[in-house]
Amino acid sequence: MRDIILGIDVGGTNIKLGLVNPGGQIFSRSRIVTKDHTAPKELIKALIGEITNLLKINQLEKKQVKGIGIGLPGLIDVEKGIVKLLPNIAGWRDVPLEKILRQSLDMEIRLENDVNMITLGEWRFGAGQGRKDLVCMTLGTGVGAGLILNDALYRGEGFAAGEIGHMPLNETGVVCSCGGVGCFERYVGNAALEKEASRIFNRSIKLEEVSQLAAKGEKRALAFWHEAGVRIGNGLTATVNLLNPRLIIIGGGVSNSHRFLFPAIRETIKARAMSVQGSMVRVVRAKLGSDAGIIGACVLLENESRHDG
């Protein structure tokens, strides 16, 4: 029996671990607080400790687990198993994490970008089941996307494809952390949306509260989410025209406001995309929530041999 997978989702706040069965269900979980151990050496030590602990609690031997899939928030060379850069976790540059963990644990290890992990999870077990092509966008502090093209994850030659948040929309817009100007994320990322909401309500306000107000029918809140949906739809229109996907999955915190947001996204794409692309595409909410990044490990470990094409 080697059909259990250990999925790990490394975030700037928490590192979530989960044991996943072949059906994509998480049956045991644990968690590490990221800021307690940020430097590679400490974080790796904490990871090894927590992995060992989770297996022990579940009375599993290493050989009963097919492998460990780890999603990380940054640029990952998945062929060499190297973490090239984690922009939001200090000290992570060119860390050969796969080799270090394999030597310490003597288990199969695979690394992947976190948004790609979410995409794999949604594709196989969530909103994208059975699709050959899809775009999975995560809306939050960061705005990213994973691409499934022709039945496979598309990573790009430098493993950096899918940076939908850094599509330039405005050549004279706000300067972005990526070095660009007027990036999509500067208009639809959480920081931008909260700033806009605070301007509208004339006080500091969280997006959850704007959603609660919208649920009560508050006019400014409804108008705010409509406008956000139009902005998101505008950015997605470029992707729809470029890739002609049948499905766009939207996840992340903001997608919890889907009731108010999604109608405007759909209307905007329909109105602005080219006719063939616009008429084919469906926009749906992600299904797996914050578990997608752990469940995606199952897909990553599907073929045990490396460089399987």
Would you state the structure tokens that stand for residue 213, as one six-digit string? Answer: 């107000």
Closest approach of Zn ion to the CB of residue 62, in Å: 41
Of 93-101, 136-144, 160-168, 283-291, which part binds Zn ion (CB under 5 A)?
Answer: 160-168
Q: Is residue 166 within the footprint of Zn ion (CB under 5 A)?
A: yes
Closest approach of Zn ion to the CB of residue 142, in Å: 10
Closest approach of Zn ion to the CB of residue 215, in Å: 32
Beta strand 75-77 pairing with 65-72: unpaired
- CA–CA distance, 145 with 239 (Å, rounded to integer): 10
- CA–CA distance, 205 with 58 (Å, rounded to integer): 43
- CA–CA distance, 45 with 41 (Å, rounded to integer): 6
Binding residues among 68-107 for Zn ion as defined by CB under 5 A:
none
Residues touching Zn ion, count (CB under 5 A): 5
CB of 263 within 8 A of CB of 294? no
**Site map for Zn ion, 115-154, x if CB under 5 A?**
----------------------------------------
Closest approach of Zn ion to the CB of residue 38, in Å: 23
> Which residue(s) pair with 154 in the sheet?
147
210 Cβ contact list (under 8 Å, min separation 6): 197, 201, 221, 224, 225, 257
Q: Specify the residue, 165 or 278, whose C-beta has the smaller distance to Zn ion.
A: 165
- Helix H or strand E encompassing 171: none
- CA–CA distance, 143 with 4 (Å, rounded to integer): 31
Q: Specify the residue, 127 or 137, whose C-beta has the smaller distance to Zn ion.
A: 137
Q: Specify the residue, 126 or 165, whose C-beta has the smaller distance to Zn ion.
A: 165
Closest approach of Zn ion to the CB of residue 167, in Å: 8
Q: Specify the residue, 173 or 289, whose C-beta has the smaller distance to Zn ion.
A: 173
Residue type, 176: C
Closest approach of Zn ion to the CB of residue 135, in Å: 18
Closest approach of Zn ion to the CB of residue 165, in Å: 6
Of 105-113, 169-177, 243-251, 276-284, which part binds Zn ion (CB under 5 A)?
Answer: 169-177
Binding residues among 173-232 for Zn ion as defined by CB under 5 A:
176, 178, 180, 183
253 Cβ contact list (under 8 Å, min separation 6): 139, 140, 190, 207
Q: Specify the residue, 100 or 169, whose C-beta has the smaller distance to Zn ion.
A: 169
- Helix H or strand E encompassing 141: none
Q: Specify the residue, 178 or 243, whose C-beta has the smaller distance to Zn ion.
A: 178
Q: Specify the residue, 85 or 100, whose C-beta has the smaller distance to Zn ion.
A: 85
- Helix H or strand E encompassing 101: helix 97-105
Q: Specify the residue, 130 or 179, whose C-beta has the smaller distance to Zn ion.
A: 179
Of 126-134, 159-167, 212-220, 221-229, which part binds Zn ion (CB under 5 A)?
Answer: 159-167
Q: How many CB atoms lie within 10 A of CB 261?
A: 26
Of 158-166, 216-224, 272-280, 301-309, which part binds Zn ion (CB under 5 A)?
Answer: 158-166
Could you tell me where the DSSP H helices lie in 140-254? 185-188, 190-201, 207-215, 219-243
Q: Listing from the earlier edge strand, what are the strands of the sheet with 75-77?
A: 75-77, 82-85, 93-95
Q: Which spans of this chain sit near Zn ion (rule: CB under 5 A)? A: 166, 176, 178, 180, 183
